[in-house]
Structure 1
């Protein structure tokens, strides 16, 4: 599913919402793809302090901060099951 996606690409992550039960999507720039440097997850920058992570078919929202110049995850929230990841034009 992630073979045609590279770091820097703009993609849309679509998932079945855990809260509403409907299909929802988030769009952003790819920071990391699975297999890149032995990494397992896909991470997409959706806002300055917000990432969308995809691991094992599940989608998570990650709120990130800065601690002594290092990026840290401050909160992780499960959003739902992955439907698709597709490049945007």
Structure 2
């Protein structure tokens, strides 16, 4: 069940449109306006998928992406947990 919709705020980011969905969650085009303008891809874990196993796999994925440097792989800019 997807709770987010375009226009919702997740931390400093406003969700613009859904880009895709997978086993972990949904990837959104999002934008930040303050302190500077920036468009990002924001991956949100699906509700109910917050078990320690899933969160561990998500963290591994995030770490792997953080060390990659390739023009066709998204760079990790930030990561964290928001209140439910």
Same-fold call, TM cutoff 0.5: no
Choose between structure 1 and 2: higher strand proportion.
1
Q: TM-score range by the shorter chain?
A: 0.3 to 0.5
Choose between structure 1 and 2: higher helix proportion: 2
TM-score of the two chains, using structure 1 as the length reference: 0.37
